[in-house]
């Protein structure tokens, strides 16, 4: 039963105050400070998270250091077994975790369940993939001027202690996408959950702990980024940081972290380029899904659409025809709701509305939407937008998509490559060859041809360039990023 399984996570008060995990047990912080988590659906209190102290962070780092050595010495086949068990626990509590997710971050039950199932599958995939990770041996005489006097034994080893910082929009899946590879490669993980979404994320961490991740190998420290973020990212006990979140925060972490390995997924502000020959029904469906899934709160959401005047005009007509069937804003727990529940907070909704207002003031027109009630922002389409307008210059992390008319493909490519962001881009055309030719001109991580941007399938490489990220994620790539090579060279007596 979930009550027993998650029993130690909180004090079971009403509303519950959740604890942090010091490497050995779930405890309350000496700070006496907590941060309340409100549901974006109705502003009800979901619970509260501890704000840990600097002293508690130092103690966690010591626990991680000790725990990491023992954990890395644990046979890989045991680490694999623990991961598979964690995945089974997550499947076992799918309904409970999905309901919590929907309440805490306003994700529809359908999207919440999909996140939970995807997480269990992802952890299993990591646990299978890690067993194929190989080192190599090298002979010295391959290189000119060398004889056979040296043999290189190249193995993969842990970085040491990894700081994992997860975002609010996938507090379960993007936590697992960090914890699983880091743990499987023998690292200890200090996990900093998001504030909103932190309660769901702590429940996921419990699955790893109950599955057998031993003392010190996994710790969870909670508190807002402003409370403990700087101290955590600059802590000398951290060897590697894996972060998903907005680009400004990513840039700030990179500056404060110092000489550490950084693996970041940041903001996307992703474009969709629609060529005149595109299949308009397919393109409209993909753009609606890409722009409005989870109320547009995805790093891979489509934020602006580029096309020539006639193309955008016919696309707009098809989109407006399809919207009533594909999009319905409402309570994310209701089966009637499609794609658009509330955004993560009223403050976020106010920011989105201000960006819409500034963009309209700069000359854009509202085709549909544009209004807000509390944390609910209507699915919004803006036309007559230019790249320098706020809704394109900034990443609007909400259900807003802008239409930008271009005179030709060259202008569209120029706009996309001039962006400060470069996570993904979509190109819609019935001529895949032409799509590839355009894709090769785009300075972004991934180009989707005839599909909306997305991280999945999760074994594909996933990366951002410019302000959209550092390093590469995706199952095999994450396992490599969460480890380093250790060459041992045997010099034969000469
Ligand atoms: O915003 C997080 C990013 O990883 C998006 O994931 O699966 O919705 O494309 P996905």
- The model's pLDDT over 433-486, given as tens digits with 9 standing for 90+, comes to 999 999 999 999 999 999 999 999 999 999 999 999 999 999 999 999 999 999
Whole-model pTM: value is 0.98
> Mean pLDDT of all residues in the chain?
97
* pLDDT reported for residue 459: 98
* Distance of alpha carbon 10 from alpha carbon 15, whole angstroms: 10
* Distance of alpha carbon 25 from alpha carbon 9, whole angstroms: 9
* Distance of alpha carbon 398 from alpha carbon 407, whole angstroms: 28
* pLDDT reported for residue 434: 98
| CB 270, CB 396: distance < 8 Å | no
Using the mean position of ligand 1's atoms as its centre, give its distance from the Cα of residue 18 in Å. 27
Q: What is the mean pLDDT of residues 399-407?
A: 98
Residue 493 has pLDDT above 90, yes or no: no
CATH class of 270-458: alpha beta
* pLDDT reported for residue 337: 95
Q: What is the mean pLDDT of residues 330-359?
A: 97
* pLDDT reported for residue 225: 86
Residue 69 has pLDDT above 90, yes or no: yes
Question: Which atom of ligand 1 lies nearest, measured to the CA of 174?
Answer: 4
Phi-psi region of 26 (alpha: psi -120 to 50; beta: other; left: phi over 0): beta
Out of 104, 286, 299, 378, pick the active-site residue. Answer: 299
Out of 56, 104, 111, 265, pick the active-site residue. Answer: 265
Q: For strand 400-405 and strand 302-307, is the pairing parallel, antiparallel, or unpaired?
A: parallel
Q: What is the mean pLDDT of residues 351-374?
A: 98
Please state, for a pLDDT cut of 70, what percent of the chain lies above it: 100
What would the DSSP string read from start to end of 185-250? TT-EEEEE--STTHHHHHHHHHHHHHHT--TTTEEE--S-IIIIIHHHHT-TT--EEEEES-HHHH
Cβ-based neighbour number of residue 343 at 10 Å: 28
Cβ neighbourhood burial of 466 (10 Å; 0-12, 13-18, 19+): middle
Domain ranges of the chain: 2-266+472-486, 270-458
CA distances from 276 to 230, 270, 390 (A): 48, 20, 27
Residue 28 has pLDDT above 90, yes or no: yes
Q: What is the mean pLDDT of residues 288-316?
A: 98
Pick the CATH number of 2-266+472-486 from 3.40.50.11310, 3.20.20.80, 3.40.605.10, 3.30.470.20: 3.40.605.10
Please state the separation of Cα 8 from the chain's center in Å.
Answer: 27
Q: What is the mean pLDDT of residues 150-178?
A: 98
Residue 57 has pLDDT above 80, yes or no: yes
Pocket test for ligand 1, best of 244, 297, 299 (most atoms within 8 A of CB): 299
Using the mean position of ligand 1's atoms as its centre, give its distance from the Cα of residue 298 in Å. 5
* pLDDT reported for residue 494: 76
* pLDDT reported for residue 1: 85
Pocket test for ligand 1, best of 243, 269, 300, 444 (most atoms within 8 A of CB): 300
Q: Which residues line ligand 1 (CB under 6 A)?
A: 169-170, 265, 298-300, 454-456
Start-end of H helices in 304-385: 309-326, 346-361
What would the DSSP string read from start to end of 266-295? ----EEEEE-TTS-HHHHHHHHHHHHHGGG
299 in active site: yes
Are the folds of 2-266+472-486 and 270-458 the same?
A: no
């Amino acid at each position: 039963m979930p009550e027993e399984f998650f029993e130690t996570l909180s004090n079971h008060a009403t509303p519950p105050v959740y604890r942090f995990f010091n490497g050995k047990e779930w405890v309350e912080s000496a700070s006496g400070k907590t941060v309340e988590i409100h549901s974006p659906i109705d502003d009800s209190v979901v619970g509260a998270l501890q704000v840990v102290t600097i002293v508690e962070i130092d103690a966690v780092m010591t626990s991680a250091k000790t725990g990491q050595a023992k954990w890395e010495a644990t046979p890989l086949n045991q680490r694999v077994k623990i991961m598979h068990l964690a995945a089974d626990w997550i499947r076992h509590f799918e309904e409970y975790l999905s309901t919590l997710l929907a309440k805490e971050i306003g994700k529809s039950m359908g999207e919440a369940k999909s996140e939970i199932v995807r997480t269990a599958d992802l952890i299993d995939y990591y646990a299978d993939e890690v067993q194929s990770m190989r080192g190599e041996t090298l002979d010295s005489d391959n290189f000119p001027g060398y004889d056979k006097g040296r043999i290189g034994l190249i193995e993969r080893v842990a970085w040491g202690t990894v700081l994992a910082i997860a975002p609010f929009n996938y507090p379960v899946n993007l936590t697992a996408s960090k914890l699983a590879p880091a743990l499987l490669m023998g690292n200890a993980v200090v996990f900093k959950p998001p504030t909103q979404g932190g309660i769901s994320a702590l429940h996921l961490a419990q699955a790893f702990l109950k599955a057998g991740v031993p003392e010190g190998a996994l710790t969870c420290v909670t508190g807002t980024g402003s409370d403990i973020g700087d101290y955590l990212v600059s802590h000398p006990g951290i060897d590697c940081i894996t972060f998903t979140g907005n680009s400004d925060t990513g840039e700030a972490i990179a500056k404060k972290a110092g000489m550490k390995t950084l693996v970041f997924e940041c903001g996307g502000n992703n474009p969709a380029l629609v060529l005149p020959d595109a299949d308009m029904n397919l393109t409209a469906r993909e753009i609606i899904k890409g722009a409005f899934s989870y109320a547009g709160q995805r790093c891979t959401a489509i934020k602006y659409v580029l096309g020539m005047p006639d193309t955008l005009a016919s696309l707009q007509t098809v989109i407006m025809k399809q919207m009533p069937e594909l999009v319905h804003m409402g309570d994310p727990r209701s089966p009637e709701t499609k794609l658009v529940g509330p955004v993560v907070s009223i403050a976020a909704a106010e920011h989105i509305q201000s960006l819409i207002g500034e963009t309209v003031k700069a000359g854009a027109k509202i085709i549909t939407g544009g209004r807000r009630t509390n944390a609910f922002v209507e699915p919004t389409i803006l036309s007559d937008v230019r790249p320098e307008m706020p809704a394109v210059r900034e990443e609007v992390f909400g259900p807003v998509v802008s239409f930008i008319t271009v005179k030709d493909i060259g202008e569209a490519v120029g706009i996309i490559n001039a962006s400060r962001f470069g996570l993904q881009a979509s190109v819609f055309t019935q001529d895949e060859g032409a799509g590839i030719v355009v894709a090769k001109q785009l300075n972004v991580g991934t180009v989707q041809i005839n599909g909306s941007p997305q991280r999945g399938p999760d074994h594909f490489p996933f990366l951002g360039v410019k302000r959209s990220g550092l390093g590469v994620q995706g199952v095999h790539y994450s396992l490599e990023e969460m480890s380093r090579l250790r060459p041992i060279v045997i010099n034969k007596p000469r």
